[in-house]
Amino acid sequence: MRLVKHLFLLLAFLSTLSSPSIRAGQVSIAVAANFAGPAQKLAVTFEQETGNKAVVSIGSTGKFYTQIKNGAPFEVLLAADDETPIRLEGEGFGVVNTRFTYAIGKLVLWSKQVGIVDDRGEVLRRGGFEHIAIADPRLAPYGLAAMQAIGKMGLEKQLLPKAVWGENISQTYLYVDSQAASLGFVALSQVIQDGKVREGSTWLVPPSMYSMIRQDAILLSTGKNNPAADAFMRFMRSKKAQEIIQSFGYSL
């Protein structure tokens, strides 16, 4: 009887070791501000699919670069560009051969008010607004894209005195959403979900007016030995993850 009891206890113990709650891990992910919406949805789906928890931090790619170099414990970076992951890999902060493009971003000019922004962006030439929100081009790739588009239109002298600078694309979006600025350059993903553009008026800036916004993911050195981090990188390439990313207006 004692042998049977011991076997029963051993089997019960082994069953707890194999349960999802015991096996589940956690991964810390630094996410570019433009990708905040998709990242939250991806984190939920990732946990449902794998049992692992994704802890998401939102911010500017430029600031994340500095934080990672100074020892921030992020394990995966979803950047708003491809240059930052390349630099981190070259400087030994990213794992070699783990970098890939998870999304192609799109730039839009958006106003919360209907009828302000026309479908050709001519409002930028006409004027009639006091402030325009732009993300800091030194920190935010979408800000750099906005400056390239403004340059292509030859409107630097006209628009820059009216610029309200966002630290990242999330802050830039909030300036427009709160109507502190009548309009602004934001990421398409911030004003669209499931193929529907939210209230207001929007101009999808032609991709020929700015450098392609290739957004790369990379496994950071701090996550090299974390199975949950590796699982998240695999998940980002899955069909389900790609469907979520596309639903926010990104290309793949």
Domain residues of the chain, as ranges?
Answer: 2-104+213-247, 107-204
Q: What percent of the chain has pLDDT over 90?
A: 83
Confidence category of residue 182, pLDDT binned at 50, 70, 90: very high
> How far is 107 from 202, CA to CA, in rounded Å?
10
Mean pLDDT of 155-173: 95
Q: For 94-145, how does the pLDDT look when each residue is reduced to its tens digit (9 = 90+)?
A: 999 999 999 999 999 999 999 999 999 999 999 999 999 999 998 888 999 9
For residue 106, the Cα-to-chain-centroid distance in whole angstroms is 12
Structure tokens at 153: 């239109």
Q: For 213-239, how does the pLDDT look when each residue is reduced to its tens digit (9 = 90+)?
A: 999 999 999 999 999 999 999 999 999
- Assign domain 2-104+213-247 to its CATH superfamily: Periplasmic binding protein-like II (3.40.190.10)
> How far is 245 from 180, CA to CA, in rounded Å?
29
> How far is 250 from 252, CA to CA, in rounded Å?
7
Give yes or no for a contact between 46 and 235, defined as CB atoms under 8 angstroms apart: yes
Q: What is the pLDDT of residue 22?
A: 41
Confidence category of residue 72, pLDDT binned at 50, 70, 90: very high
φ, ψ (nearest 5 deg) of residue 238:
-75, 160
Confidence category of residue 17, pLDDT binned at 50, 70, 90: very low
Q: Please check the confidence at residue 13 and state whether its pLDDT lies above 70.
A: no
Mean pLDDT of 146-155: 98
Other beta carbons within 10 Å of 232: 26
Confidence category of residue 199, pLDDT binned at 50, 70, 90: confident
CATH of span 107-204? 3.40.190.10
> How far is 15 from 20, CA to CA, in rounded Å?
10
Radius of gyration of the chain (CA): 22
Q: Fold match between 2-104+213-247 and 107-204?
A: yes
Q: What is the pLDDT of residue 196?
A: 79
> How far is 16 from 11, CA to CA, in rounded Å?
9
**Among the ranges given (85-94, 168-177, 189-198), the one the predictor scored with the smallest mean pLDDT:** 189-198
**Considering only CA atoms, which of 155, 136, 164 is closest in space to residue 62?**
136
> How far is 170 from 35, CA to CA, in rounded Å?
9
